[in-house]
Amino acid sequence: MLKCREVYEIASDYIDGDLGRWARIQMRLHLAMCRHCSRLVRQLEYGRRIVREEAGSTVIESASTARSELLATYDARYAAPSGSGVEPPAHED
Partner 1 sequence: MLEEQDELVVRLRSGDRHAFRQLVDALHPRLLRFVNRLCPPPSVAEEVVQDTWHVVIDRLHTFRGDSRLSTWIFQIATHRARTRAVREGRYAATLLESWDHADPGGDGGLSRFDSRGRWVAPPAGWPPDDPEASAMHQQALARISEVIDQLPEAQRAVVLLRDVEGLDTREVSTILGLSPANVRVLLHRGRHRVRSELEAVWTGRESC
Query: What residue ranges bind partner 1 (CB under 8 A)?
Result: 3-6, 8-9, 11-13, 16, 18, 36, 39-40, 42-44, 46-56, 58-63, 66-67, 69-71, 73-75, 77-79
The C-alpha atoms of residue 30 and residue 37 are separated, in whole angstroms, by 8
Q: Rounded to whole angstroms, how far apart are CA atoms 88 and 76?
A: 10
Contact yes or no for 15/45 (Cβ under 8 A): yes
Residue 15 touching Zn ion (CB under 5 A): no
Which among partner 1, Zn ion, none contacts residue 3 (Cβ within 5 to 8 A by kind)? partner 1
Nearer to Zn ion, 9 or 18 (CB): 9
